[in-house]
Structure formats: structure tokens, C-alpha cells
Chains A and B, each alone.
Chain A
Amino acid sequence: MAEEIKIKVFSTPTCPYCFTLKEYLKEKGFKYEEINVAEDKVAAKEMIKKSGQMGVPVTEINGEIITGFDKVKINQILGIKE
């Protein structure tokens, strides 16, 4: 049994790289929890604290933090081969 993968994407609705990142995860068949930091102020603070970044997107995969649309790192953690 593969262990369950938990993905959280912190994003704003107007950010182009967030959109690209979410489309990429969808395309590769991964489910993710979308957190809109423009609406959810508490989550915004959580994101800044966890990532040390004041910019979106931030992705959390099984507790590991990825800033920006870092495809290489995402592929590596999720075992995606292109």
C-alpha cells in the first residue's frame, strides 16, 4: 500500500504560477487541498510562518514546504517521472 499523500496548496485566485501549479497537479492525477490565502487570513499567517515567504504559491506535501512552482522538487517528492 502506498502511503497517503497529503498536499496543501496555499494560493491566491489571481496568481498565474499558482494556477499553473494546480493544473499540473491535476494533470498528474494528484488531489490537493486548496487554501485561498486572500480570504483566509489565519492560513495566510500559517503559510508565512511555515515557509518564511511572503509570496504565493506555497505547497505543503506531507509536511515538506515548497515555495514557488518548483516543478523539479515537486516531481522528486511525488515521484513524478516526465
Chain B
Amino acid sequence: MYDLIIIGGGPAAVSAGIYAARKKIKTLLITKNWGGQVNYAPFIQNYPGIKEISGMDLVNKFTEHLKENDLEIKENEEIKEVNVISDSEIEIKTDKDLYKSKTIIVSSGRIPRKLGVPGEEEFIGKGISHCATCDAPLFQDKKIAVVGGANAGLSTALELVVYASEIYILEVSSELHADELLQEKVKEIDKIKIITNVKISEIKGSDFVNGLIYGNGTDGENKELAVEGIFLAIGSVANSSFVKNVLELNEQGEIKINLCNKTSQPNIFAAGDVTDVSHKQIIIAAGEGAKAALSAYEYIKEIK
């Protein structure tokens, strides 16, 4: 039985791991992969002590630092189920094994939001991408749709502009929500077109994506847009589905926590972007992870 199991591999989890190890409690960290959303930040300029760093490099620094500490780590494991046995025992089922711990910290971050239309699951990696930074060069001279008219969508379109032949930014509401500066940039580029009031109903293709069907509010008729690439930039949701039956969540699916990172279950703590903490930032997630580890440590001492 562990004292503490930390779920996740982003800034909150890493920071919790470092703090827990220094308290010399028996700790296990389970993660599918390292860094979470930090990986996709092209550069970070607001982390004290580090003037500028790419997300990828910061993730490497985080994991390197974590691994200097005395704790167990299971990488590439996915959490399937969390069961509360008692206020001093939690059982975690992963795709590989079963673990028991007195306390846990859920710091599983956020995952890309889904459109929820037919064809979406089928064509991920076959024309649908969430990562322009990764996959943009593969869409040389192709017509592409970027779904989402906020900052992420417009930045994605700008990243694709050197490769794609034509780019359609599709926004569900009647206007773009990105910063004015980004909107001005995008509107200056001829090969970027903006379509608003777009409700996508299906993604089509055979081996790869070849188009999407959408309704365009104004006339109610379905239209088809022939594109070979679809980049989704419609935000993210809390990665909390595996605790939805054991913890209280808010309307957005975020885990409700108090100032000490306690959840509705006494021996489950939560930290970072999976929670209802205000402002989702790397530095905040790291701080929250530290707080959660210290709260868990105090709880473990109490129940001993």
C-alpha cells in the first residue's frame, strides 16, 4: 500500500511528486505521458527564473528534476477506474495493474475538446489533427479547415499558412473571438478565409479526410467543404471522467477543490488544470501540486 499515488505527468503532478518525495512518504506517480498541455506551447516567457523556454524543453527539465527524487514512477499507463474503499484506502485500476494507496492526488490536466460528430474518431491522424506544431508540414499544398475562431484557432491558421494552399477558419458563433491583433493578421492573408455560424455535422473521407458537412445558420441548408486536413482548435475539457462517480465536479467537469486542494472525498486531493482553480497557468498548476502534496502529507500523518 502506498501513502500517496499521484495521477498525471504535467506541472501539477511533477511538483506534487517532488514535494511528496521530500516528505519521505511512499509515493507512486502514474502517467500516460509527460508534460500534458505544456508540450504544445511554442515558448514560455512567464515562469520565474527561466526567461524563455520552449514547452518541450520545460517538460524535459520538469521530468529530469522529478526523477532525481526518491519516488516510484509508472509511465505510459492509463487510469481506468478509481474506487474509494475507505477514508484511508483508494484503489486505482490502470490498463496494466491494480494499485492501493492511503491517499491520491488527481492532477490529470485537460484534454482537447471533441466536436462529437460522425467521422471524428475515425479520421484522427488521418487528416484530423490537434497539433499544428507537429503535423503542419504534412499538409503541403492542401486545402485545410481550422475549427475554432478564438486565439488557438487563429494561431493554428497562421502556423499552417506556409504549407497549406487554402485555409478556412470555421467559427460556430457569428464572430471571431480571438485578440484583435491576431484577427488583423489573419484578415491580411488572402489564402485564409473566415466562415462564421458554422455548425459541423459530419467529417467525411475514405482512407483520409476529404471534406466536411456543415450547416450555415442563415439558410439552414447543409453545405460541403472539400478539405484534406482539419485542425481542431476548440479548446479543452478537464480530464476527469475516471473520477466522475467518486468526486464532486462543477458544470464544466472540473473537480471542485477548496483552498487546501481537498475534494469531496477526504483522502482524494486534486491540483492543476483538472480542478476548478481560477486561471489555468503552468506556474499556478505547479504551485497547486505542491499544496496538494503538503495537504496529503498532513492527512496521512493524521490517519496514522
Nearest to A18 among chain B residues (CB) is: B134
Binding stretch for chain A, among B122-130, B148-156, B276-284, B291-299: B122-130
Q: How far is the CB of A47 from chain B (nearest CB, A)?
A: 8
A50 to chain B, nearest CB (A): 13
Asked whether B207 lies within 8 Å of A52 as measured between CB atoms, the reply is yes
CB neighbours of A69 from chain B (8 A):
33
Closest A residue to B42 by CB, please name it. Answer: A14
A37 to B133, Cβ gap below 8 A?
Answer: no
Cβ contacts under 8 Å, B131 to chain A:
15, 55
Contact digits for B74-104, partner A, Cβ 8 Å, 1 yes 0 no: 0110000000000000000000000000000
- A49 to chain B: closest residue by CB: B207
Q: Is A16 an interface residue (CB 8 A)?
A: yes
Flag A20-64 by CB within 8 Å of B: 1 or 0 each: 100100000000000001100100100010001111100000000
Question: Out of B35, B42, B56, B125, which one reaches A55, CB within 8 Å?
Answer: B125
In the complex the two chains form, what is the Cα distance from A16 to B59 in whole Å? 9
* Given A52-B207, A54-B129, A67-B125, A16:B137 Cβ within 8 A: no
Residues A55 and B135 in contact, CB atoms below 8 Å apart: yes
Closest to A11 in B: B134
- For A37, the chain B residues whose CB sits under 8 A away are 137-138
Q: Which residues of A contact B139 (CB under 8 A)?
A: 54
Among A15, A44, A54, the residue within 8 A (CB) of B133 is A15
Residue of B nearest to A44 (CB): B138
- A12, B137: Cβ atoms closer than 8 Å: yes
B229 at the interface (CB under 8 A from A): yes
Count of residues in A whose CB is under 8 Å from the partner chain = 24
> How far is it, in angstroms, between the C-alpha of A15 and the C-alpha of B59 when the chains are bound?
13
Residues of A near B55 (CB, < 8 A) are 16
Residue A6 at the chain B interface, CB threshold 8 Å? no
Chain A residues closer than 8 Å to B35, beta-carbon distance: 16
Residues A41 and B140 in contact, CB atoms below 8 Å apart: yes
- Chain B residues within 8 Å of A14, by CB: 42, 133-134
List residues of chain B with CB within 8 A of the CB of A15: 131, 133-135
Chain B residue nearest to A41 (CB atoms) is B140
Quick check: is A72 within 8 A (CB to CB) of the other chain?
A: yes
The answer to whether residues A16 and B207 also contact, given A38-B137, A71-B76 and a CB cut-off of 8 A, is no
Question: CB-nearest residue of chain A relative to B228?
Answer: A54
**A80: min CB distance to chain B, Å:** 12
- Contacting pair B34 A12 (CB below 8 A): no
Can you list 19 pairs linking A and B with CB atoms under 8 Å apart? A12-B138, A16-B40, A16-B56, A37-B137, A37-B138, A38-B136, A44-B137, A44-B138, A44-B140, A53-B125, A54-B125, A54-B127, A54-B138, A54-B208, A54-B229, A67-B125, A68-B125, A69-B33, A72-B76
Interface residues, chain A, with chain B CB atoms under 8 Å away: 12, 14-20, 23, 37-38, 41, 44, 48, 52-56, 67-69, 71-72
Known: A12-B135, A16-B56. 5 other contacts (CB 8 A): A14-B134, A41-B140, A52-B207, A55-B134, A67-B125
Q: What 10 A-B pairs have minimum CB-CB distances, sorted nearest first?
A: A38-B137, A15-B134, A16-B39, A55-B125, A16-B56, A71-B76, A53-B125, A14-B133, A55-B135, A54-B138
